[in-house]
Homo-oligomer: A and B are copies of this chain.
Amino acid sequence: MIELAVLGLLTEQDLHGYELRKRLRARLGLFSDLSFGSLYPALGRLEAAGAVTAVEQHAHAPAHSPAGAMPLTGSLSGERAAESSRRQAPVGGRSRRARKVYRITDRGRELFESLLSGEGSGRSGERYFDLRLAFARHLSREARIRLLERRRAELVRQLDESPAQGTPPTGRLDAYARSVVEHSRQAARHDIVWLDGLLATERSAGAERSAAPNGNPAGIAVAGTPVLDSPSESEESTR
């Protein structure tokens, strides 16, 4: 599913591998190690599939589109370095380690759409959900709501299947194991509250002005002010 992340970033701007990694890190928060050992092979697969095309980016490439559209290094110092290297470019050689800049194709955009919605055959799980949500602005509001509700249902299901403290299998665990289980349940409850906030925002935005084009719907809950849900036991929790 690294493909989804790569395509999502390339939808917005041409980028090279190293930069893709940094952007993804910024976009996904603490998650997202994204080792090069998976990134470069993924780029290779996408290129082979015709979803992206590589544009060797080395010296003597002066006539580029106005600032902002060109592939940046992201860090200013890094970009300055590339700039200076571009000055004294030898003919065929690369003055700096050549950066392979990738651009998404139409086929890539199709693939992105289908991976993003995750409907049908897509994988689920927290990683995949976070990734999809991070690019959710490329989805229709209806698809976003379905995405959020699918994740919510999954969390509720896991909570119901997981034994609350007291039931036979959990009762036999020692305090450390119980703490791990209970903490994971707590985290799931927090996630549900978070999702409910996002869902409420989506729905109120949809009720207000259903004719809003495709722009960023006004006020998505960002921090999600983690209101703890009621201390009632999780059984039949909002199912």
The complex is assembled from copies of this chain, and their number is 2
Check: A177 CB closer than 8 A to any chain B CB. Answer: yes
Whether A226 and B228, one on each chain, are in contact in the complex, defined by CB atoms closer than 8 angstroms, is yes
Q: A165-B222, A179-B222 are in contact. Are A184 and B136 (CB under 8 A)?
A: no
Distance (whole angstroms) from the CB of A88 to the closest CB of chain B: 30
* Top 4 A-B residue pairs of the complex, sorted by shortest distance between their CB atoms: A29-B184, A175-B220, A29-B181, A136-B176
Interface residues on A, range: 35 or more
Interface residues of A in 165-202 (CB under 8 A from B): 165, 169-170, 173-188, 190-191, 194, 198
Whether A135 and B222, one on each chain, are in contact in the complex, defined by CB atoms closer than 8 angstroms, is no
Q: A165-B222, A187-B190 are in contact. Are A176 and B137 (CB under 8 A)?
A: yes
Q: Which of B26, B178, B194 contacts A173 (CB 8 A)?
A: B26
CB neighbours (8 Å) of A228 from chain B are 226
Whether B222 and A182, one on each chain, are in contact in the complex, defined by CB atoms closer than 8 angstroms, is yes
Check: A31 CB closer than 8 A to any chain B CB. Answer: yes
